[in-house]
Chains A and B, each alone.
Chain A
Amino acid sequence: MRISRRTLLKGAGASLALPWLEVMQAAAPPKLPVRLAFLYMPNGVNVNAWSPEGTGRDFKLSPTLEPLANLKDRLIVPQGLWNAAAKDGDGHYVKESAILTSTRISKTLGEDINSHGISMDQIAAQKAGAATPIPSLELGIAPEATGVDNNVGYTRLYASHIAWASPTTPLAREINPRSVYERLFHAADPQTSAARQDALLLDRVLEDAKSLQSNLGQADRHRIDEYLTTVRSLEERTQRSTSKTGLKWKRRAPIAATAPPEEDPKEYPDKVRLMLDMIALAFRTDTTRIATFMFGNAVSNVNFRFLEGVTGAHHDMSHHSNDADKLRQYQLINRWHVAQYAYLLNKLSEAKEADTNVLDQSIIVFASALSDGNSHNPHKLPIVLAGKAGGRLNSGQALDYTADTPLANLWLSVLSAFGTPVESFADSTGPLPNILA
């Protein structure tokens, strides 16, 4: 069965904001753009070393969060959140794939792929993505997870995607930093004549497809329509980039000032750094304002032996069985992820913009979809927010919410801080208190 546009909207998990909100926003645009990034860490955390001590402004960073010490007054550490819809189903896929949709994905080996929602970043992209040459970036390190997991009955497609443009459209990720660079370069600096030719060509492709539509069954037409929709939106985007009035966008820094990244980095930490550099580059130049990044796919088993004191792989260590040594290594792996997060934050903080910097014009979220990985615990998810969203975030505090507060409430607040508010999101009950300035 295919989903009609109507059910698609109904099941979208978000009721779109009333038009007046958008009008209001258009009437008083913020001087500088706000950016939104989400960094996803697979496999949960060693819960003994995650939570900060105390709440409010006087909190003390935990050992795992310690790499963020110099950024403490720009952080928010919300605790007690979860996605109730994903509380069971299986250990990983149902939780990890839905972290930005706050829904419950359909259990399937492929035939009924459905997230039952649009991810938070894509709601932002659908409302504000047209303001930049690229609506949003989806990035990763690991290639698409292969095979199906017969053990639990899910296609591993779910392991590789957190960004959902529609309940049935998981977004493909770029995993090669060089391709990202080239894409940014091309998008931020289009050659007008080539773009015109592209637009014309895409137009003819749409014309050619008309001869096809009439003799197709409904299921077949659906896929073709999906494809033609992407062709059409590319055509519109290309068209816009060639017209002087079409896009008010101006790049805020030249891409070419940054050298292209290495073609095919071999080591995992290098790949991660280069990808984070691409987020920084995209945000600094304002080529996009929205990005999601996956350190690894769900159930990632990246070998962390490159890290001092670690002798094993990620998923292996997350199933620590309360073994002290495994817990120690698990924590080191978590802390390494946080340190990479800190690297991006510092990089954005160093990027000056008017009388502020890109970090303070951003919301950069770091999270995992599990707390304790050993028991696949879905409660009290480990989450950090950084950046001030241009002053819209009440940064510099740890917040303890009532146990099992909907994670969707956080996404509601984040969308609001980003400037694309919605009335409700998935199972949200209202914005989180104390987060917005």
Chain B
Amino acid sequence: MLKHLGWLIFAVSLQAADSFDATRPFLHQYCQPCHTGSQPAAHLNIDSIKPDVWPRLAARVRNSEMPPRGTPAPPLNERQAFLKTIDEALHAEACAAPAHPIASPLRRLNRDEYTATIRDLLDTHTNAGRDLPADAAGGQGFDNAAEVLVISPVLAEKYLAAAKESLDFAVRNPQARKRIGIVEPSADLPPEDAARKILRAFLPRAFRHPVPDAEMDPFLALFRDAQTRRQTFDASVSYMLRGVLMSPKFLFMLERPDDYALASRLSYFLLGSMPDDKLFEAAAQNKLHDPDTLRKETARLLASPKSMDFIDRFVTQWLGTRELGREFIPDPTVFPQYAKNLELQGDIRLQPTVFFQNMLAANDPLTDLIDSRWTMVTQVLARFYGFEGALVPKDKGEQPHRVELPPDSHRGGLLGMSAVLAVSSYPYRTSPVLRGKFVLDALLGTPPLPPPPNVPALEEHKEGHPKTMRERLAQHRADPVCAGCHSSIDPLGFALENYNALGQWRTEDAGNPIDNTGELPDGTRFSGPEELKAVLMQRKDLFVRNLTARMLGYALGRGLTPSDFCTVDDIARQLKDNGYKSQTLIEGLVMSSVFRNQ
């Protein structure tokens, strides 16, 4: 209900003050021939543009897909002015939209968070969530989005088994007993009092919030049940705590307007797990919401080794490299060396994550993700990329090291990394289409439109097969239905053709020299990855905005709503103002009102 009301207000406010008016002359001059009347092209009539169409429309003009080649092209300054008008109008609308148009459902811990939370709660190192079903992704593409963390009936059964296994292990482990706060009953401490004492220490940590004594009763009752069955003290404690781990107060992120909820939000964002003692303390003292404390705690958590969990989950889901080695396996017949070398597999998979981590630690600019003069390699990976051995110190060569790139290494930024180049290919060959789509979607946040439904099959070439992928795709683009999008997708991928399906550099493919040239519909030409990255650098604000939006979705654990893009724009502007320093992104997200007051 809330949600629909929100959209209504949003829509009304759009009509009330159409800040898109200044786009009319451009639309009439360049778009009118096709986009008017009762049957406008792509069902888009410029006289009745729906509010949600503007971002997509802007993306297509920005990517030079529209106006299409062969129609009068707007001069660059007109196009930029047009896009600026749309951006500003969208920003104004986003900031005027109600802050919480969607009452997002209560978020349960996802499988990774469950595992990490059990680890920290019990101080054990078992994979507690191993048998839980994997979670789907939603919103900005992450598996912590509340709306897709659905409740499958099998969950209760799985939670029960996982809790039993974890606790039976923990009560036998001295380190875990200490962390849980297990006290032995004695002459002065009857068993039930000992159980109460344990609960008093354990429940607030498990529920991530102070717990009144009255709420201990159902769990104490479990302890008594077990004692009545003449179970040992330890077995009774295990049984009692099993109940705690089945409680929705443990399994769900309960949102309350207090510092404890903020502590949880911050901790699950930056550590992927429950708050640590210091964070609990800051919440208990009601200090966490204080901007200085919040900033300090953010920096402290980010510097913690556990922040690698956050970075890995974010980066691998953003780039799709999570699939590498799981569902996506480079073909062992094409890449036998890779198939045999487990170390190489691990190093390739981890490279984007450690790069991101190092960039954040050094507060280097986010634009290093587009292109950089450094990267992170192990000795194995350095050899795979053909770097000189001296770059990585021999004694700790199995650890990733930050190295300055040799000239002509072609390894700067994300697009120089094997993990990224592999998952945007087929397991056995490259695909300029998939790589072009990757650049548009994952990097720039302007995914191409889907192919029209029931698109007819390509007619077989009358004079035999086209020889190369490039010829085949050229034939594809000759079809006007396909050309609309593929003329801006394929060239981006062509520029990366020097990398094979595992990201190794090549100058020929099956005896044919690699043609790495691409030309966008607006006439922008480039050849090879360096020139492509230079083109992407010109669009760095688009890239940074996309990255910001994705990370805001991750931080909030839900899909973004129109008003969230007001926050995104604000942070993107802060980033632009201070040279895209990467820590500004994290700080900007945490300090945003939407994160602090979710």
Name A residues whose Cβ lies closer than 8 Å to a Cβ of B: 1-2, 88-91, 108-113, 138, 142-148, 150-153, 155-157, 160, 165, 168-176, 179, 183, 197-198, 200-202, 204-205, 207-209, 211-212, 216-220, 222-224, 226-231, 233-234, 301, 303, 305, 311-313, 316, 320-324, 374-377
Closest residue of chain A to B4 (Cβ to Cβ) is A1
Q: Which 5 A-B pairs have the closest CB atoms?
A: A110-B138, A172-B133, A157-B136, A172-B152, A150-B447
- Verify B248–A227 contact, CB threshold 8 A: yes
In the docked arrangement, what's the CA distance between A112 and B450, Å?
20
- Verify B147–A111 contact, CB threshold 8 A: yes
B272 beta carbon closer than 8 Å to chain A: no
- Verify A144–B156 contact, CB threshold 8 A: no
B333 beta carbon closer than 8 Å to chain A: yes
Q: How far is the CB of B50 from chain A (nearest CB, A)?
A: 15
Closest residue of chain B to A157 (Cβ to Cβ) is B136
Q: How far is the CB of A150 from chain B (nearest CB, A)?
A: 4
With contacts A224-B106, A305-B428, A312-B428 known, is A169 near B331, CB below 8 A? no
With contacts A207-B218, A217-B103, A375-B456 known, is A151 near B450, CB below 8 A? yes
With contacts defined as CB atoms under 8 Å apart, how many contacts are there between chain A and chain B in the complex?
A: 235
Q: How far is the CB of B543 from chain A (nearest CB, A)?
A: 15
Contact with B427, one of A113, A144, A303, A321 (Cβ below 8 angstroms): A303
- Verify A224–B447 contact, CB threshold 8 A: no
- Verify A91–B450 contact, CB threshold 8 A: yes
Besides A111-B147, A301-B427, 4 other A-B contacts (C-beta < 8 A): A151-B441, A157-B137, A218-B103, A230-B154
Contact with B133, one of A109, A113, A144, A321 (Cβ below 8 angstroms): A144
Closest residue of chain B to A2 (Cβ to Cβ) is B105
Q: How far is the CB of A336 from chain B (nearest CB, A)?
A: 17
- Verify B136–A151 contact, CB threshold 8 A: no
In the docked arrangement, what's the CA distance between A205 and B104, Å?
25
- Verify B460–A322 contact, CB threshold 8 A: yes
B531 beta carbon closer than 8 Å to chain A: no
B246 beta carbon closer than 8 Å to chain A: yes
B139 beta carbon closer than 8 Å to chain A: yes
Q: For A301, list chain B residues within 8 Å (CB).
A: 327-328, 426-427
Q: How far is the CB of B313 from chain A (nearest CB, A)?
A: 11
Closest residue of chain B to A323 (Cβ to Cβ) is B460
B131 beta carbon closer than 8 Å to chain A: yes
Q: For A230, list chain B residues within 8 Å (CB).
A: 151-156
Within 8 A of A (CB), among B231-280: 239, 242-243, 246-249, 251-252, 254-255
Q: For A374, list chain B residues within 8 Å (CB).
A: 457
B399 beta carbon closer than 8 Å to chain A: no
With contacts A111-B102, A150-B447, A208-B215 known, is A322 near B453, CB below 8 A? no
In the docked arrangement, what's the CA distance between A179 and B134, Å?
14
- Verify B322–A150 contact, CB threshold 8 A: no
9-residue interface stretch from B219-227, B367-375, B573-581:
B219-227
Contact with A168, one of B150, B333, B441 (Cβ below 8 angstroms): B150
B529 beta carbon closer than 8 Å to chain A: no
In the docked arrangement, what's the CA distance between A183 and B160, Å?
13
Closest residue of chain B to A375 (Cβ to Cβ) is B454
B108 beta carbon closer than 8 Å to chain A: yes
In the docked arrangement, what's the CA distance between A19 and B222, Å?
40
Contact with B457, one of A146, A147, A211, A375 (Cβ below 8 angstroms): A375
Contact with A146, one of B105, B320, B441 (Cβ below 8 angstroms): B320
Contact with B218, one of A168, A204, A220, A320 (Cβ below 8 angstroms): A204
B588 beta carbon closer than 8 Å to chain A: no
- Verify A198–B160 contact, CB threshold 8 A: yes
Closest residue of chain A to B472 (Cβ to Cβ) is A321
B451 beta carbon closer than 8 Å to chain A: yes
Q: List 14 A-B contacts (CB under 8 A).
A: A1-B3, A89-B453, A146-B136, A156-B136, A157-B136, A207-B218, A209-B247, A212-B248, A222-B105, A222-B106, A223-B106, A229-B151, A313-B426, A375-B454
Q: How far is the CB of A35 from chain B (nearest CB, A)?
A: 20
With contacts A201-B222, A204-B222, A323-B460 known, is A209 near B4, CB below 8 A? no
Closest residue of chain B to A142 (Cβ to Cβ) is B327
Q: How far is the CB of B545 from chain A (nearest CB, A)?
A: 15
- Verify B155–A179 contact, CB threshold 8 A: no
B340 beta carbon closer than 8 Å to chain A: no
Within 8 A of A (CB), among B189-223: 214-215, 218-219, 221-222
Q: How far is the CB of A407 from chain B (nearest CB, A)?
A: 18
B396 beta carbon closer than 8 Å to chain A: no
In the docked arrangement, what's the CA distance between A138 and B158, Å?
14
Q: For B453, list chain A residues within 8 Å (CB).
A: 88-91, 376
- Verify B133–A156 contact, CB threshold 8 A: no
In the docked arrangement, what's the CA distance between A150 and B456, Å?
22
Q: How far is the CB of B163 from chain A (nearest CB, A)?
A: 9
In the docked arrangement, what's the CA distance between A227 and B4, Å?
26
Contact with A113, one of B148, B157, B248, B460 (Cβ below 8 angstroms): B148
Q: For A168, list chain B residues within 8 Å (CB).
A: 150
- Verify B136–A160 contact, CB threshold 8 A: yes
With contacts A111-B102, A322-B457 known, is A147 near B141, CB below 8 A? yes
Q: How far is the CB of A69 from chain B (nearest CB, A)?
A: 31
Q: How far is the CB of A225 from chain B (nearest CB, A)?
A: 9
B413 beta carbon closer than 8 Å to chain A: no
In the docked arrangement, what's the CA distance between A165 and B50, Å?
35
In the docked arrangement, what's the CA distance between A302 and B559, Å?
29
In the docked arrangement, what's the CA distance between A172 and B159, Å?
13
Closest residue of chain B to A325 (Cβ to Cβ) is B465
- Verify B148–A110 contact, CB threshold 8 A: yes
B515 beta carbon closer than 8 Å to chain A: no
In the docked arrangement, what's the CA distance between A203 and B575, Å?
52
Contact with A179, one of B131, B255, B320, B450 (Cβ below 8 angstroms): B131
Q: For B152, list chain A residues within 8 Å (CB).
A: 165, 169-172, 230
- Verify B135–A144 contact, CB threshold 8 A: yes
In the docked arrangement, what's the CA distance between A179 and B158, Å?
10
Q: For B151, list chain A residues within 8 Å (CB).
A: 169, 223, 226-227, 229-230
- Verify B147–A146 contact, CB threshold 8 A: no
Q: How far is the CB of B283 from chain A (nearest CB, A)?
A: 19
B145 beta carbon closer than 8 Å to chain A: yes
Contact with B454, one of A224, A320, A376 (Cβ below 8 angstroms): A376
Closest residue of chain B to A379 (Cβ to Cβ) is B454
Contact with B138, one of A142, A157, A176 (Cβ below 8 angstroms): A157
- Verify B218–A148 contact, CB threshold 8 A: no
Counting chain B CB atoms within 10 Å of each CB, which of A153, A165, A197 scores highest? A197
In the docked arrangement, what's the CA distance between A93 and B108, Å?
25
- Verify B103–A375 contact, CB threshold 8 A: no
Q: For A138, list chain B residues within 8 Å (CB).
A: 154
- Verify B141–A148 contact, CB threshold 8 A: yes
In the docked arrangement, what's the CA distance between A176 and B132, Å?
11
Contact with A148, one of B135, B137, B247 (Cβ below 8 angstroms): B137
Contact with A233, one of B153, B221, B331, B456 (Cβ below 8 angstroms): B153
Q: For A157, list chain B residues within 8 Å (CB).
A: 136-138, 148, 150
B329 beta carbon closer than 8 Å to chain A: yes
